[in-house]
Amino acid sequence: MTTRRVRRRTCRDKGKGKEVVEEGRAVEAGSSPPRDWVPAGDGDGGGEAVAGEAVDWTLLPDDTVLQLFGRLSYRDRASLVATCQTWRGLGSSPCLWSTLDLRAHRCDAEVASSLASRCGGLQRLRLRGHEAAVAVASALGARDLREVVAEGCRGLTDATLAVLAARHEALESLQIGPDPLERISSDALRHVALCCSRLRRLHLSGLREADSDAIGALARYCPLLEDVALLDCGTVDEAALGDIHSLRFLSIAGCYNVKWATASASWAQLPLLVAVDVSRTDVSPNAVARLISHSKTLELICALNCKFVEEEQAHSPTAFSNSKGKLVLTITCPIFKSLASLFPAEAVEEHGVFNECNWRNKRKILGVMMNWLEWILSQSLLRIAECNPYGMDDFWLQQGTSMLLSLVKSSQEDVQERAATTIATFVVIDDETANVDAARSEAVMRDGGIPLLLDLARCSRVSAQSEAAKAIANLSVNAKVAKVVADEGGIAIFTNLAKSTNRLVAEEAAGGLWNLSVGEEHKAAIAAAGGIKALVDLIFRWPAGTDGVLERAAGALANLAADDKCSLEVAKAGGVHALVTLARSCKLEGVLEQAARALANLAAHGDNNNNNAAVGQEAGALEALVQLTCSQNEGVRQEAAGALWNLSFDDRNREAIAAAGGVEALVSLAQQCLNASEGLQERAAGALWGLSVSESNSIAIGQEGGVAPLLTMAQSEVEDVHETAAGALWNLAFYSSNAHRIVEEGGVPILVHLCSSSGSKMARFMSALALAYMFDGRMDEAAIVGTSSEGSSKGVNVEGARRMALKHIEIFVLTFSDPQVFSMAAASSAPAALSQVAEAVFIQEAGHLRCSGAEIGRFIAMLRNPTPVLRACAAFALLQFSIPGGRHATHHADLLQNVGAARVLRAAAAATSASIEAKVFARIVLRNLEHHQAGTST
């Protein structure tokens, strides 16, 4: 299970069992005022504010209100300033609108127009999506804008970028990435150069090309341009870059069509060049050497993940050691130690080189270079983590992890967020299975990364909250890390973030709760923190199109519902209605799969609570689940079948499922899933097993063609599959018409094979019982012969099948017999001897089986059967069903008493024609009944 947008989600709790069980306060932009402060309704309050008492918010000092407004998103700020005249004036203060971050919310032309009146002094703008860029370019009207940082602008066009530049000529910094700008050409780049003469920083990602004319225009019209990053571009004119004489910092990371001889010769002549980034390129060692030798101003070359440079260093470790004071950073060199050499006069801890206090009082260019280095490292490390190239383990474990955590502490917000995104990415080593690398995740934990990321998740920026939550969620796939996250307060943080008004934050928080809820030890803590209510609320808060939020919320609820106590909390919080709503109305396969799994888990607790009945009584629930068994998605079909299996344990649900077309749907599913996954086969067979408890359903399953696919699944090599199929066949064989079909379909050899060869005692037991039902005399053998004669393909030797069945039933029973022990038990009247036998032959899982009165009556009748093998089999079965401590032992004991079983059991125990096994088993059943009677009398 994976995430997208480098979210890379994680493995989930699936659980198991015959009842299919799948198993500080965060301050955010947009959060409400603290609950213990109640604003006065009439605005006339006064005096000191006391927790829990009314307070007049309008009397707060202006500075306090401005600080409060500064922590809010523009939407929440606009809502608050509309409450009174005082706040309306304060809300328009220029200091609140010098910087605007629109990434957290939708921004279109209408929103941009509504903000235009306040944004006359706007200087710094962050946005996400090319639609937002279009809106800003056309409607915002911020003429004094100095900096634009845009993300997710893959669809940005030349026309939009040209308009953005033309309307904001005062731009000094333009950064658009990391998504590739595939629709931007050199024409737009020339237009930026012509319009924005004050430009100092230009960072663009994924351009198709940056030709000589465009770069030449930058050189001619942007005399202040000192920082250029053209990342992952198709082609870049390297010679033209040498004409931008104002350049101090240059990055062409990820560009693979560079003529390195030309580049090194041209860039070495730049009079102010301080640092170059050639990471993730095919730069040659000779080009690096020429830059070192010929540039008079260059201090730093960053060459992370450059194959040829690394090969040269591996061959000659001192290749770049004589670099005239210039640093060459590669993944094979000690990066922290190298950077520490920039501070020769001070003892700087290697891992503290990115701490701003180290360069604050140094020469200005050093501080600028370190900020630039943080930015380009955060870019390259993210790209490397996304590609996950072979052979990077040593780098990540030895220094990459520490470097990322250092960047999380950066003073640059985008560096912080990108480092958190990289942590979320590099720990995941397989997108499809969402496997998390244990060594990498534990390295983050050991280096103190969990408290650091949790602190970032507490900050007021929603973009930082979402990236930090994503990282913590992915790390929490590792059980050791999950424990630390929980111990450090992560559950409360995730629960608070799940209440966020921002979809991305809520989505990542729900993902974190999903992963933490895998651990049994965390489920109760999530419930105690209010996490269940928060997850249920998420389902109702977001529309059906937000699959990320809904899938994560439903997945977390599914894990929590696997716990008996938490399942009650899920139901109490409205979870049944929420999940059924998803199952009925959502069209997204991932959401449907998790919703069905959650409903299956809610229904899995049998007698412990009434959730099973509650799910069945929810309007449209059973119909929706029956419909989901026809889904094109295997995971959805599997979880829906599992839910129906669990729900069929309730008598009312069982009949309602059949009325909703469940028999036909599940037989069809069983027929279609024979080449599908083991999990789907098991659940399809299990659902038919559950439905077949009633006579009408059992006969209908046979008539619909359910016998043949169940016999095929009974031949599976997977124990869970053939065991479940055996259970369904056992139920079906109770009725003569189905018994006929099993014989006709060649089922006797299949059941005989299971009875003698399965590694599952339960499969062998239920196969023996099915065979006993078929040949206890109730099946009209003449009818089999008559039916069989209609087609030679159905012809069977009934008498031969009967002999084979009885032989293997006897062999099965004898596998539980020890002649010496049984002889002692038969000869002794001491309870201990019988107890020893009972303990030795008891099949633990059989205690979960619940028989009807008709079935118990049939076993009693079988005790009178003239065939000794069937009498022994019946006594063995009754022993399993009545043994004290079994889940349904009391129920079975009551049924036995109701039919006067004691007399028949005593006769069986004394019969001279009975085998020693039958006699001993009958005596044990009598002892069980006495135990039950003694218990009820007290």
* pLDDT 10s digits, 668-698: 999 999 999 999 999 999 999 999 999 999 9
Percent of the chain with pLDDT strictly greater than 70: 84
Q: What does the pLDDT read at residue 795?
A: 57
Q: Which domains are present in the chain?
A: 59-98 (1.20.1280), 333-463 (no CATH), 489-660 (1.25.10.10), 690-782+797-806 (1.25.10.10), 817-937 (no CATH)
pLDDT above 50: residue 5: no
pLDDT above 80: residue 622: yes
**CA distances for 431 relative to 436, 437, 508, 676, angstroms:** 9, 12, 17, 22
What mean pLDDT do residues 182-187 have? 94
| SS3 per residue for 543-567 | CCCCHHHHHHHHHHHHHHHCCHHHH
Least confident stretch, 195-204, 269-278, 360-369: 360-369
Q: What does the pLDDT read at residue 360?
A: 55
Smallest CA-to-CA distance from 66 within 98, 91, 86, 43 is with 91
369 vs 938: which has the higher pLDDT? 369
Strands (DSSP E) contained in 730-842 are none
CA 152 – CA 378 distance, rounded (Å):
17
pLDDT above 60: residue 704: yes
Least confident stretch, 174-178, 243-247, 930-934: 930-934
pLDDT above 80: residue 787: no
CA 22 – CA 13 distance, rounded (Å):
6
Residue 469, classed as helix, strand or coil, is: helix
pLDDT above 90: residue 703: yes
pLDDT above 50: residue 3: no
122 vs 280: which has the higher pLDDT? 280
Least confident stretch, 94-98, 222-226, 372-376, 629-633: 94-98
CA 862 – CA 876 distance, rounded (Å):
11
pTM of the model: 0.85
User: What is the secondary structure of 114-150 as a DSSP string?
Assistant: HHHTT-TT--EEEEESHHHHHHIIIII--TT--EEEE
Q: What does the pLDDT read at residue 797?
A: 82
* pLDDT 10s digits, 22-40: 442 222 223 332 222 222 2
Rounded mean pLDDT of the chain? 86
Q: What does the pLDDT read at residue 371?
A: 92
pLDDT above 90: residue 269: yes
Q: What does the pLDDT read at residue 75?
A: 65
Q: What does the pLDDT read at residue 89?
A: 63
pLDDT above 50: residue 782: no
pLDDT above 80: residue 352: no
Q: What does the pLDDT read at residue 846?
A: 93
* pLDDT 10s digits, 245-256: 999 999 999 998
pLDDT above 80: residue 467: yes
What mean pLDDT do residues 383-405 have? 92
Least confident stretch, 751-765, 768-782, 854-868: 768-782
* pLDDT 10s digits, 227-236: 999 999 999 9
828 vs 793: which has the higher pLDDT? 828
Q: What does the pLDDT read at residue 648?
A: 94
* pLDDT 10s digits, 148-159: 999 989 999 999
What mean pLDDT do residues 347-360 have? 62
pLDDT above 80: residue 405: yes
pLDDT above 50: residue 785: no
48 vs 812: which has the higher pLDDT? 812
What mean pLDDT do residues 108-120 have? 72
CB neighbours of residue 570 within 10 Å: 26
- pLDDT-based confidence at 343, cuts 50/70/90? confident
Q: What does the pLDDT read at residue 123?
A: 85
Q: What does the pLDDT read at residue 760?
A: 96
pLDDT above 90: residue 147: yes
Q: What does the pLDDT read at residue 543?
A: 75
What would the two tokens of residue 895 be?
Answer: 């049924």
Burial (0-12, 13-18, 19+ Cβ within 10 Å), 353: buried
Q: What does the pLDDT read at residue 475?
A: 96
pLDDT above 80: residue 2: no
Residue 88, classed as helix, strand or coil, is: helix
The answer to whether 469 touches 514, Cβ cutoff 8 Å, is: no
CB neighbours of residue 216 within 10 Å: 18
| SS3 per residue for 573-625 | CCHHHHHHHHHHHCCCHHHHHHHHHHHHHHHHHHHHCCHHHHHHHCCCHHHHH
Q: What does the pLDDT read at residue 32?
A: 30
535 vs 354: which has the higher pLDDT? 535
Percent of the chain with pLDDT strictly greater than 90: 67
pLDDT above 60: residue 10: no
CA 714 – CA 719 distance, rounded (Å):
9
* pLDDT 10s digits, 525-555: 999 999 999 999 999 998 766 778 999 999 9
What mean pLDDT do residues 732-758 have? 95
- pLDDT-based confidence at 520, cuts 50/70/90? very high
pLDDT above 70: residue 46: no
pLDDT above 50: residue 480: yes
The answer to whether 167 touches 194, Cβ cutoff 8 Å, is: no
833 vs 608: which has the higher pLDDT? 833
CA 875 – CA 898 distance, rounded (Å):
17
Least confident stretch, 81-85, 440-444, 882-886: 81-85
